[in-house]
Structure 1
Amino acid sequence: MYRVTSLLLALWPLFALIIAGYILRLREFPNEAFWPGAERINYFVLFPALLFSSLATAPLDNPALPRLAAAVLLALGLAWVVLLIMKRLRGWSAARFGAFAQGTLRFNTYLGLAAVGSLFGQDGLAMAALMLALMVPTVNVMSVWALTAERGVSARGLLLPIAKNPLIVACVTGALINLSGLGLPGGTDRLLGLLAAASLPLGLLCVGAALKPKELGGEIPALGWNSALRLLAVPLLAFAVAHLLQLPAMETTIIVLFFALPTAPTAYVLTRQLGGDSHLMAGIITLQTLLAAASLPLVLTLLER
């Protein structure tokens, strides 16, 4: 009972910020132009600072890292195979398959790191940043391919967005600084810490501001099964893989948590850019984010038993 209470105490402020973001945008406060600018400064400055500083000081000699990397890639690979089989059986177009694939594979990074930080502190954030270094590029490649499968995409078209992604650049440079032994001297750690501290609260407010309840109509069955797949079935798969590879308790919880997160709001932007079903994608993002307030505590509570 104590663990459940601690879990709820760690998670409810995160969803309170999401709701606050939705209400603020609904009330047009401070104004409509604020939210796109807030998202950009977080995506290009504040959030990369968090990932860079976390990886620059992460314990890369952790003996569980190879198994954690294997678990992440194996779980993503198995989920991808299931999606490809479903596409073949259901005959989905790339426009719909891209939305379903992102709804199943992508994850809300802001919510994930905020939850890990609340549960495990800096040690958990470092481990989560290492996971992101693997998951972000892999999921981005899968998402782009899913949305462009019918018309084809070149290797350049797949890899260039990854090479330009500020989150991936931050992960790679942070890891290189770590391996070089340079550290973060001269107050650099403090500067990055200040930037990082602003990232997660602002990110969660932006998640709430991006919710589109009006997009929930018309696709209820599709939204329902995709949300159940993402929020319940995929974390169960991640737990099975973590158990198979005998990951330690903290690493197991973190990988299950990331596979239990609702999909990323940025999936809507990518879907629109690549000609996918943006109405379906907006509904998936909104419903999963709302349902995650109940499913995430449930999954993590069951994990502790």
Structure 2
Amino acid sequence: MIDLLLALWPLFALIVAGFYLRRWDFPSEAFWPGAERLNYFILFPALLFSSLATAPLDNPALPRLALAVMLGLGSAWLALLLLRRLRGWPAGRFGAFSQGALRFNTYLGLAAVGSLFGQAGLTLAALMLALMVPTVNVLSVWSLTAERGVSARSLLLPILKNPLILACLGGALINLSGLGLPGGSDRLLGLLAAASLPLGLLCVGAALKPEQLGGEIPALAWNSGLRLLAMPVLAWAVAFGLRLPPMESSVLVLFFALPTAPTAYVLTRQLGGDSHLMAGIITLQTLLAAVSLPLALQLLVP
């Protein structure tokens, strides 16, 4: 447990640092939106591209890992649909709850995987993201627009334009082509990737909105419990049932134990969902994850 805490506390320290830096207006309010865009469109895609370009795609455990990801997300989605039917949530509220349960903080996830499992873990995580990011994006858009209908174009266009998806596809194509990363391009991508995770964690902290926690405590509490406790248990059960190797099981549980993504707030606001509820979910889950993530990994990781 001590080794786990030693690996994870610097990640949450960066999140706290980002929160206070923005509150202290340092370096300036205009810095943070630009930093988020730089990371989202350049630095983070460089990390995913380089990881997949050199990944061992012939790993025999990969088909089972892909099946585990889809079984976990599919089971959670069916449970959410049942809850919506029982509770009668409107789309704006259902969309916030769905994103709170299904989406995950990619920056924190990759930083944690890198700290705990090194490059081998990052490679597995990149492969998982290639499956999880498009699936979760489709479900998120559908949940926010279910009442007014949604076209195939409006579902697929955000995925086709997503820089993370494009980076995963590009890295996989380079890998399959056998071209590799010649001429020092691997070092260039490595430098960009090294800047991505610390900047991303600072931006996660800067986006926290504690003032949004009031008024929805029961809803925030059960949704956080679903994401931070039930989802990692579900991932462990799926991994156990499919007999995944220890490394694959660990990365799967870790990603299902992460708090939801800060970008869920932007999507919720753009599509007319309950952005106040979404901001509260993001903030509470990120704060609670400092305790729940080490606990889930200690209890559920092989």
Pick the TM interval, shorter chain: over 0.9
SS at match of 1:182: coil
Show structure 1 runs of 5+ residues with no match: none
User: Structure 1 residue 204: deviation in Å?
Assistant: 0.0
1:164 aligns with 2:161: yes
1:175 aligns with 2:168: no
How far apart, CA to CA, are the structure 2 residues paired with 1:154 and 1:139?
A: 17
Q: Deviations over 1:177-198 (max 9, x none)?
A: 0000000000000000000000
User: Structure 1 residue 304: deviation in Å?
Assistant: 4.2
Out of 47, 57, 62, the residue aligned to residue 60 of structure 1 is: 57
CA RMSD of aligned residues (A): 0.5
How far apart, CA to CA, are the structure 1 residues paired with 2:20 and 2:182?
A: 41
How far apart, CA to CA, are the structure 2 residues paired with 1:240 and 1:285?
A: 26
Q: Deviations over 1:12-61 (max 9, x none)?
A: 00000000000000100001000000000000000000000000000101
1:102 aligns with 2:99: yes
1:197 aligns with 2:197: no
Out of 109, 122, 125, the residue aligned to residue 125 of structure 1 is: 122
Correspondence 1:42-81 to 2 at 5 A: 42-81=39-78
How far apart, CA to CA, are the structure 1 residues paired with 2:124 and 2:236?
A: 17
1:276 corresponds in structure 2 to 273
2:242 corresponds in structure 1 to 245
How far apart, CA to CA, are the structure 2 residues paired with 1:180 and 1:209?
A: 40
User: Structure 1 residue 225: deviation in Å?
Assistant: 0.1
Q: Deviations over 1:49-92 (max 9, x none)?
A: 00000000001011100000000000000000000000000000
SS at match of 1:217: coil
How many residue pairs match? The answer is: 302
How far apart, CA to CA, are the structure 2 residues paired with 1:234 and 1:286?
A: 18
TM, length-normalised to structure 2: 0.99
Out of 2, 6, 10, the residue aligned to residue 3 of structure 2 is: 6
AA aligned to 1:24 is L
How far apart, CA to CA, are the structure 2 residues paired with 1:27 and 1:291?
A: 23
2:252 corresponds in structure 1 to 255
User: Structure 1 residue 5: deviation in Å?
Assistant: 1.2
AA aligned to 2:155 is L
TM, length-normalised to structure 1: 0.99
Q: Deviations over 1:273-305 (max 9, x none)?
A: 000000000000000000000000000000247
AA aligned to 1:40 is R
Out of 206, 211, 221, the residue aligned to residue 208 of structure 2 is: 211
1:233 corresponds in structure 2 to 230
